């Protein structure tokens, strides 16, 4: 279900009974920005530093915005940081939050423009069709959320799992890729993957290459410790990398 703010007419000054033409943005008549550069001291710390161009960069982009809001809490009212709701009961509450954020953007044209400038600079050219200065910052942010929420799904997770490979000379990259899969899993299912699932990802990756047979035997001999300590397997994998490096 889509949650674009202009789909929810409310009782405030912004609601007009006449529908805009198909060539006119539903929000365009509400936003009368000037083109001057606007720098507000209350928002000067809000700077999006991650470009969004694909599914994985979107997760970093989303985390970057969350961190920015923590540093500039006054910005929180202009957007909804919650994930899109998974069940119907949560949709009404989420929709109300979107409408409240929309009102804040419409009430503060200068602030809305500043935040939109930050957002537009972070969107890759191939995704600019999703956003527009004719819409509020809140509406543009929701459009990106809707777009990537549909793309980051169980099939995308499965493709990442299948691509996960273990190379003892690149253990650090393997652990980074493993953490990325965990983040994707959490985004989709709204909870962290458990230890057993992470072990399954690791073992599947290691088992792909027959040259890792010795590593598999070593892991098997230490399986009890691995099951008890979620961090033990990471230390063990790192030790393989270190021993390989020393031999060189």
pLDDT in tens, 52-101: 999 999 999 999 999 999 888 899 999 999 999 988 889 999 999 999 99
Which residues, including other chains, have CB under 8 Å from residue 214's CB and lie 6 or more apart? Answer: none
For residue 242, being part of any structural domain is answered with yes
The whole-angstrom separation of Cα 59 and Cα 25 is 28
For residue 17, being part of any structural domain is answered with no
| 175 and 140 assigned to the same domain | no
The closest of 82, 178, 189, 180 to 138, measured between CA atoms, is: 82
For residue 212, being part of any structural domain is answered with yes
For residue 23, being part of any structural domain is answered with no
Residue-wise pLDDT tens digits, 21-63: 434 444 443 444 443 343 444 555 789 999 999 999 999 999 9
| 55 and 82 assigned to the same domain | yes
Q: How large is the average pLDDT for residues 229-245? A: 82
For residue 16, being part of any structural domain is answered with no
The closest of 164, 168, 241, 151 to 197, measured between CA atoms, is: 164
Residue where a domain terminates, one of 151, 178, 201:
151
What value does the mean pLDDT of the chain take?
84
This prediction's pTM: 0.78
Residue where a domain terminates, one of 110, 134, 151:
151
Structural domain for 183, as ranges = 154-247
- In this predicted structure, the answer to whether residue 216 has a pLDDT above a threshold of 80 is yes
Residue where a domain terminates, one of 151, 168, 197:
151
Which residues, including other chains, have CB under 8 Å from residue 231's CB and lie 6 or more apart? Answer: none
The whole-angstrom separation of Cα 152 and Cα 140 is 18
Q: How large is the average pLDDT for residues 201-214? A: 94
| 166 and 192 assigned to the same domain | yes
pLDDT at 246 (0 to 100): 43
pLDDT at 243 (0 to 100): 61
- In this predicted structure, the answer to whether residue 8 has a pLDDT above a threshold of 90 is no
């Amino acid at each position: 279900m889509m949650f674009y703010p202009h789909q929810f007419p409310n009782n405030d000054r912004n609601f007009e009974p006449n529908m805009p033409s198909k060539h006119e943005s539903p929000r365009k008549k509400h936003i009368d920005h000037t083109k001057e550069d606007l720098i507000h001291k209350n928002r000067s710390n809000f700077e999006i530093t991650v470009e969004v161009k694909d599914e994985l960069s979107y997760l970093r982009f989303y985390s970057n915005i969350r961190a920015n809001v923590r540093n500039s809490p006054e910005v929180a009212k202009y957007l909804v940081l919650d994930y899109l709701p998974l069940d119907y009961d949560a949709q009404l509450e989420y929709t109300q939050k979107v409408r409240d954020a929309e009102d804040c953007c419409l009430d503060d044209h200068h602030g809305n423009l500043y935040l939109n400038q930050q957002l537009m600079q972070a969107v890759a050219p191939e995704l600019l069709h999703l956003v527009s200065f004719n819409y509020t910052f809140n509406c543009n942010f929701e459009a990106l959320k809707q777009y990537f929420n549909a793309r980051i799904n169980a099939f995308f997770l499965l493709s990442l799992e299948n691509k996960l490979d273990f190379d003892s000379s690149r253990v650090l990259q393997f652990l980074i890729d493993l953490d990325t899969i965990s983040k994707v899993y959490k985004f989709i299912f709204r909870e962290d993957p458990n230890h057993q699932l992470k072990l399954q990802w690791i073992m599947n990756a290691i088992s792909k290459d027959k040259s890792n047979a010795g590593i598999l035997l070593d892991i098997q001999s230490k399986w009890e410790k691995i099951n008890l300590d979620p961090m033990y397997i990471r230390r063990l994998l790192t030790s393989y990398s270190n021993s390989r490096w020393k031999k060189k």
